[in-house]
Structures are given as C-alpha cells and as structure tokens.
Amino acid sequence: MEGLRQQEFIEWADQYLRGELSPEEQSAFEKYCVEYPAYAAVFAEHKAFLQRLKQADARLVFKERLNKNAIKYAQESEIKEPAKIIRLWRKVQLNAAVAATIAIVSVFSTLWLTGYYRNLKKTTTDYSALRRDMNTVKRNVNAHNAAIKNIKSGKDHTETMHFGATGFMITRDGYVVTNYHVITGADSVHLQNHRGQSFKADIIFTNPEKDLAILHISDSTFKSSKNIPYTFKKQDSDLGEDIYTIGFPRDEAVYGQGYLSSSTGYAGDTLAYQISIPVNPGNSGGPVLDKDGHVIGIISGKQKGIDGAAFAIKTKALLETLNSIPADALKGNIVLSNRNGLSSLNRTEQIKRLQEYIYIVKVY
C-alpha cells in the first residue's frame, strides 16, 4: 500500500472507521499510519471531522424529533398560549443551530490551521511551475534561434522556430515515444539522431493524462533499424535500484545516473516514479533504464526548487497507452522487442548501443 494518494488514503480510512476491514487489513492500516506520520495526521483530522459531522447530525435528528413531539403535544392539548415544552423547544432549537454552526466553523478552521488548504495550493502551484518551466525554455530557445537567424540573414523578421526534447524508439520500424507536453501545439515534428540525420515524424496518438505521445517516422529516407536492444519492464522496480538515462538537454546526448527514490511520482502519482537523476527540460521524453538495460520509465519532468526530485512515467503506463491506440491510427502493428541485448554489456557499451535509438525531438 505504498505511495497512496490522499483521496485513496481517505477512502481506506473510511473503511477502517466503518469497521469494513478484516483484522489483518486493520493491522495493515494502523501500521501504515505509523510508517507515514503525515498520513496519520490526515487520519486524525479526518476522524475529528467525521465526529463533528456526526454530532451535528445527531443534533439535527434530536431537533426533528423534538419538533414533532412539540407539534403533537400542542395539537393534543389545543392550547392557545405556548406551553413549557414549546418554549423549551424554541430554546433548544436556537442552541442546536448555534452548536451546528460552531461545529462546521470548527472543522474548517482546523483544516485551515493545520495547513490542509495551503498544502493543496502548494501542490497545484508546484505542478503548474513544472509546466511553466517547459514553456519558458520553449520561448527562450525560440527567441535565441530567431536572433541568430536574423543576424545571419541581416533581415529583421521571424522565421520558423523550434525547441528540443528527447524521444526514443519503441519498435524497429519507426515508432517513437516522447512526452505529450513536448509536442502539444506542434505544427510539425522532426527527430534527429546522434549523427545529425533528421527525419519527419507524424503524431500517431496522444495520452494527455499520462503525458505520453506516440510518433511514427514518416520520412522516406528512414531505414528500419536492427532489433531494438532493450525491453520494457512491466513490473515495478525496487527502491534504491541503480538506474540511468540518456537525453538531450542540449544538442548532444547527455548521460545521467542515479537511483529510484520513490515508487510513486508527483503528488503520489502511482503511474510514475520519483528518481534521483538531475534532469533539465530537454530530458523530457528520455528513457530510464535499470542496470540490465530494461526500460523502466520515461522522463516527464522535475519538481521545482528541489534538486534531484525528477519524475518518470512507468513503462506499464506506456504499454496501456499502446494498447489503447485505435487500429486505424497505426501504420503497421506495434511489435515490441522481447530480447534484451544490453544485459551482458558493461555500462559504456550499453550507452554506445542506446545512442542509435534515442532522438532529439524538434518541434516546429
């Protein structure tokens, strides 16, 4: 149950409080709260919140019953002046309304004072900042390219501009994966290999929720490569596992290594990992591999202001995306490699082999 999102944890906590869990499941929940103090605090706040709601509800039920009894008593007695029970009820009615108001204000005040709303706002802000980083790089590179072209031509006008990221082959016949945020809004996409050759690519399918885009090289100059030397790992990898990546934060391939630091991604995303590899926006869409050369993820970004807090989409999310592509959108079947040609090589030789299958993604 590692890496639960807050909503998932709340649902689990509700089952615990309602007594719907078996003794083993109750023990697992209590152990989880001990291991994750932040979630234990969330549970305490949630439990207090429910208790206040229950108290408010009980007051409303009592109010209803008292109201019915008072009306019944008045009808049976047929009195003109308010009886003691009715006067008592009116007083209790006012007190119940005040108590319910106090309970509601208390709940939301508690949430505010404990930073619940600030944490939600901070998460949203950090995520937005991550997207702005990519857009800022795009604008800066565009402006830089335009300035260089204007200097060379001696003309004061803006020509076609581009920015770069990373993508890598998933089949030998030209299917490539990168991030959705890399190609969104693109008029055209080109892929450049480490030898400087550039090929036009079509956007075959996008999955914004998983931040994935599937491309296909449509250029007539492209020739099918040898079999892809890496495979795609379907199972989750272990914490602390040695991993590495190759990408294009600049116009030449850059190698980075580190370890898997969390089995969930940004804000507890179960479809991603947190990794300790330093990355830059140009690394977006690059592969993350384990020591044996299995692809375990795809670089998607990093958390603003925290060094080494990068995130990679798990390969099982890629496989799910590939399975959801409509058949009429494909240009030939997608057949993934089931033979790993990197496991017997040392890291230097692995990198040499990999460079043949990793591209700069240039978006125009």
Each residue's pLDDT tens digit in the chain (364 positions)?
556 777 787 888 888 888 888 988 888 888 888 887 777 888 888 888 888 878 877 887 887 787 787 777 766 665 555 555 556 656 656 565 555 555 555 555 555 555 554 554 444 445 432 333 444 445 555 555 555 555 545 544 444 545 689 999 999 989 999 999 999 988 899 999 999 999 999 999 999 999 999 999 988 899 887 789 999 999 999 999 999 999 998 888 999 999 999 999 888 889 999 999 988 888 999 999 999 999 999 999 887 766 668 999 999 999 999 999 998 988 878 889 999 999 999 999 999 999 999 999 999 8
First to last CA, the chain: 43
Distance CA 213, CA 204 (A): 8
Can you give the pTM of this predicted structure? 0.60
Name 191's Cβ contacts closer than 8 Å, sequence gap at least 6: 167, 176, 198, 199, 201, 215, 217, 359, 360, 361, 362
d(CA 145, CA 163): 9
The dihedral region occupied by 305, where left means phi > 0, alpha psi between -120 and 50, and beta the remainder, is left
Q: What pLDDT is recorded for position 5?
A: 76
Check residue 90 and give its pLDDT: 62
Predicted pLDDT at 284: 92
d(CA 180, CA 300): 9
Q: Please state, in angstroms and rounded to a whole number, the distance separating the CA atoms of residues 152 and 159.
A: 12
Where are the domains positioned within the chain? 6-118, 161-364
Neighbouring CB atoms inside 10 A of 216's CB total: 20
Q: What's residue 352's pLDDT?
A: 94
Q: 56, 103 in Cβ contact below 8 A?
A: yes
Long-range own/partner contacts, residues 33-37 (CB < 8 A, 24 or more apart)? none
Q: Which of 237, 339, 338 is nearest to 291 (CA)?
A: 237
Fill in the amino acid letter for 330: L
CATH topology for the 161-364 domain: Thrombin, subunit H (2.40.10)
Query: Which residue shows structure tokens 């890291």?
Result: 347
Q: What is the pLDDT of residue 158?
A: 42
Residues contacting 12, CB < 8 A, separation 6+: 1, 4, 29
- What CA–CA distance (Å, rounded) separates 59 from 281? 56
